Amino acid sequence: MSEQLPEQPENVEAPDQAPEPAAPVPSASPQATQRQRASLLAQTLRSELQKALIGQSEVIDDVLSALIAGGHVLIEGVPGLGKTLLVRSLARCFGGEFARIQFTPDLMPSDVTGHAVYDLQSEQFKLRKGPVFTNLLLADEINRAPAKTQAALLEVMQERQVTLEGRALNVPQPFMVLATQNPIEQEGTYPLPEAELDRFMLKLRMDYPQQQEELDMVRQVARSSKADMLEVTPLRTLLQARDVQALQKIASDLPIDDQVLDYAVRLARATRTWPGLTLGAGPRASIALVRCGRARALLRGGDYVLPEDIKGCALAVLRHRIRLAPELDIEGLSIDQVLQQLINQVPAPRL
């Protein structure tokens, strides 16, 4: 697989040039140069997404981290906060294949994965692939469909393949599921099963924008000719499927100290014995912390993973993998509040 990344995209301002040193400086290694170009590409993609989605900077960074880490994302928020807009904007900046499934109560598993169709001319059954055979899959309002339809994504999210009529068919690479859901308290929703939740690397929560951000949003939408929709057509296509795979390979090669690795494992293991939690995170959480930490390090332009990179993604990695004890729920404590206490009390290494 090629790790070559495109040159710096057009219309991107280069940083101010530093004065030339008096003494010659050794040239950077090829690996360091690739990391710098990968970091610049990721940061340019972040700036492009911020043109369409006003505010929500942390959510944008987390989605890009999951893309670089090769993970799936579940985005939760009340209607109208821009969950679908974020995914559409990412698809606009990505030159690969994009598909969308609108989950509804009557959606069948075969509508997701595909099915066999009888061809009268050839008198044979032919496989008709479903929308999961794509690079970016938007599962819109995934909790509007019952459990049997949600379970259609289990195999493809974990193994990157779909079994149809006894045949295992690979999906294109890279493959990423970006699912949106309304809060469980909303009418007409079904909770996602734990097996599916665990397959999402991150669960993000979109909150209401700040006053100034909402003011800017209203001003921008009011100028649009498409009612209350924000435009994504002006966004540029910045990367292709091979570029995403190169970013993922470069991020996976970022050095990580054994102390930082141990910190990620200790965070995940702490949820299994923490007071007030009846269900702790499994080994997938430890792996996700390390992968996401590497992606965050690349996004900020670092040469190695810091404890802050692990700590910064811990809430999004862990919140959907644990279960709160009923007594804490009665007291009004949320999962995020309990997790934040845990994250603050597990000591981080000092490098």
Compute the distance between CA of residue 81 and CA of residue 228 in angstroms, rounded to an integer.
Answer: 12
The pTM is what?
0.85
Q: What is the pLDDT of residue 286?
A: 96
The token pair at 123 is 């008198």
Q: Residues near 283 by Cβ (< 8 Å), separated by ≥ 6?
A: 268
* pLDDT of the residue at 230: 60
Could you tell me how far CA 344 lies from the centroid of its own chain?
Answer: 24
- Per-residue model confidence (pLDDT) at position 83: 84
Q: Which of 184, 51, 190, 75 is nearest to 139 (CA)?
A: 75
Beta-strand ranges (E) seen in 69-201 are 73-76, 98-102, 114-119, 124-129, 136-140, 161-164, 167-170, 176-181
Can you tell me the distance from the alpha carbon of 233 to that of 127, in angstroms, rounded to the nearest whole number? 34
pLDDT for 2 equals 47
Handedness of CA 64, 212, 315, 86 (dihedral sign): negative
The label of the residue with tokens 């700036």 reads: 47
Count of CB atoms situated within 10 Å of the CB of 345: 9
What number of other Cβ atoms are within 10 A of residue 40's Cβ?
Answer: 18
Q: Which helix (H) or strand (E) holds 307?
A: helix 307-318
Distance separating alpha carbons of residues 166 and 321, to the nearest angstrom: 32
Please spell the DSSP secondary structure of 239-265, one letter per residue.
Answer: B-HHHHHHHHHHHHTS---HHHHHHHH
Q: What is the pLDDT of residue 14?
A: 46
Q: Residues 19, 20, 26, 31: is their CA dihedral positive or negative?
A: positive
The predicted pLDDT at position 266 comes to: 97
pLDDT, position 343: 95
Q: Classify strands 176-181 and 136-140 as parallel, antiparallel or unpaired.
A: parallel
Nearest to 174 by CA among 241, 243, 246: 241
Q: In the prediction, which pLDDT does 233 show?
A: 66
pLDDT at residue number 348: 93
Q: What is the pLDDT along the chain (351 residues), one digit of tens a residue?
A: 445 665 555 544 444 454 555 455 455 677 788 889 999 999 999 999 988 888 788 999 999 999 999 999 999 988 777 888 888 889 889 988 999 999 999 999 999 999 888 777 777 778 889 999 999 999 999 989 988 898 899 999 999 999 988 889 999 999 999 999 887 666 678 888 888 899 999 999 988 878 887 788 777 777 766 655 566 667 889 989 999 999 999 999 999 999 999 999 999 999 999 998 999 999 999 999 999 999 999 999 999 999 999 999 999 999 999 999 888 878 888 899 999 999 999 999 987
- What does the alpha-carbon distance between residue 103 and residue 139 come to, in Å, rounded to a whole number? 7
